Amino acid sequence: MLQDNWFLRAERFFSLFDQRLMNSRQRLRTALEHQQADRVPIDFGSSFITGIHCSVVEKLRQYYGLEFRPVKICEPYQMLGEIEDDLADALQLDVQPIFPQRTIFGFPNENWKSWMAPWGQEVLVSEHFHTFTDNTGDTFIFPKGDCTAPPSGRLPQSGFFFDTIERIDPEFDEENLKVDDNLEEFGLMTDEEAAYWQSQSERLRDGNRAVNIHLNGTCLGDIALVPAPFLTHPKGVRGVAQWYMTAAEQPEFVMELFDRQTEIALKNMERLYQIAGDVIDVVVVCGTDFGTQTSLFFGVHQVREIWLPRYQRINNWIHEHTHWRTFKHSCGAVKPLIETFIEAGFDILNPVQCSAEGMDPKLLKEKYGSRITFWGGGVNTQKTLPFGTPDQVREEVLSRCEIFAPGGGFVFNSIHNIQALTPTENVVAMFDAVHAFNGTA
């Protein structure tokens, strides 16, 4: 008993000491260990599902009095803006990204050039960002920057994001599916990619912030990627409805595809770990959405049969060979799947859509909070943040922090990306509230 007390006291003393010294990386790692950090870690911009639309990034830069410069488009599909260090400091962000070497449209983000977005904002895009506008004013983008290929994305004249264009191979035969056709995008890491990871990891090795990356090829059946907007002439199952129907009618095809995809991804992870393993803290394994607003896209039994064993292979490898924490994104009402995600070995769930059926924050924290980290859930981006008042935003943010923060296992982020047209005063109210909660306002 005496010994226990001594240990407890010593632990408390050292944790207080640690708390004062915590940098962003320590803060995140502590929270992911389900321990109380000095404050709640905050993420915006470390992934393509925790980001901010470029128009909002520009307004935030103005609000915080930062040097005016056009925002870089780090992710052209959702038109997410890069959050540079000066803004990350103002927002007190704890996590930063190393983005994949190629964007979702298949080209590297390099040699920036100016581009005027349809909503009248000048932004910076990759030199390979090639588009044309048709007579309705819609903008079309080419895969790999190849203007001879059919365009793979479309941005409506009054829209703020691209959507993928389904390009179905005329020779596609659903009775005779070939796994290789749907494997075209999954290859071994090229030397060019390896060099990219080398340089990026060197850039961030001594950084203060934690690092989050999207793993290449572990995303199993993400519906945004099925149409392969990065390929010039995709073959195989590339339609959204077609994909869902294939999963229902030919699950053995999908499982074989996922198995082969996993094989390749494991080899790539090994190489990535050798190059940049020590720099990386968190890996986004998969962004496949399983939830709708009120229900699931697939039954629990289907997820367990088709996805669970492959997720386990990936997560087990990571946990056996690295210190990385694994991140699963799924929008919607996924409460019936959280036990499966935990069993699959995921450490983190995002975006924690509290407004969806059954996703009550208190219940989630109570039932799963000690076993999986909630990365998100901070504020509703479908209602409160875009359409509420700053007071309503503040109230919701504080309430979520009070529920999710105790004992760690929480990283503050809104529920998915902050969308275009979200009022700046609401975004600022959100940051002010989480900073107030952290005692750093």
For binding to other proteins (CB under 8 A), which residues are involved? 138, 154, 156-161, 163, 240-241, 244-245, 247-249, 292-299, 302, 381-383, 386-387, 419-422
Smallest separation, CB 220 to other proteins (Å) = 15
Q: For residues 189 and 272, what is the distance between their CA atoms, to the nearest angstrom?
A: 9
Q: Give the side-chain half-sphere CA count within 13 A for 334.
A: 23
What one-character DSSP code corresponds to residue 303? I
Nearer to other proteins (CB atom), residue 20 or residue 301:
301
Nearer to other proteins (CB atom), residue 297 or residue 410:
297
Smallest separation, CB 387 to other proteins (Å) = 7
Smallest separation, CB 146 to other proteins (Å) = 22
Nearer to other proteins (CB atom), residue 292 or residue 392:
292
Q: What percent of the residues of the chain are helix, what percent strand, and what percent coil, each to the nearest 5? A: 40, 15, 45
Q: For residues 58 and 315, what is the distance between their CA atoms, to the nearest angstrom?
A: 37
Smallest separation, CB 309 to other proteins (Å) = 19
Smallest separation, CB 56 to other proteins (Å) = 11
Smallest separation, CB 240 to other proteins (Å) = 6
Backbone angles phi, psi at 114, to 5 degrees: -80, 145
- With the CA atoms of 414, 419, 421 and 424 taken in that order, what torsion angle do they form, in degrees rounded to the nearest 10? 30
Listed residue (254, 256, 243, 245) closest to 168, CA to CA: 243
Token duo for residue 52: 């901010």
Nearer to other proteins (CB atom), residue 247 or residue 272:
247
Listed residue (315, 309, 261, 307) closest to 283, CA to CA: 315
Nearer to other proteins (CB atom), residue 114 or residue 136:
136
Smallest separation, CB 421 to other proteins (Å) = 5
Query: Distance between alpha carbon 361 and the CA centroid of its chain, in Å?
Result: 20
Q: For residues 134 and 156, what is the distance between their CA atoms, to the nearest angstrom?
A: 10
Nearer to other proteins (CB atom), residue 362 or residue 383:
383
Nearer to other proteins (CB atom), residue 10 or residue 245:
245
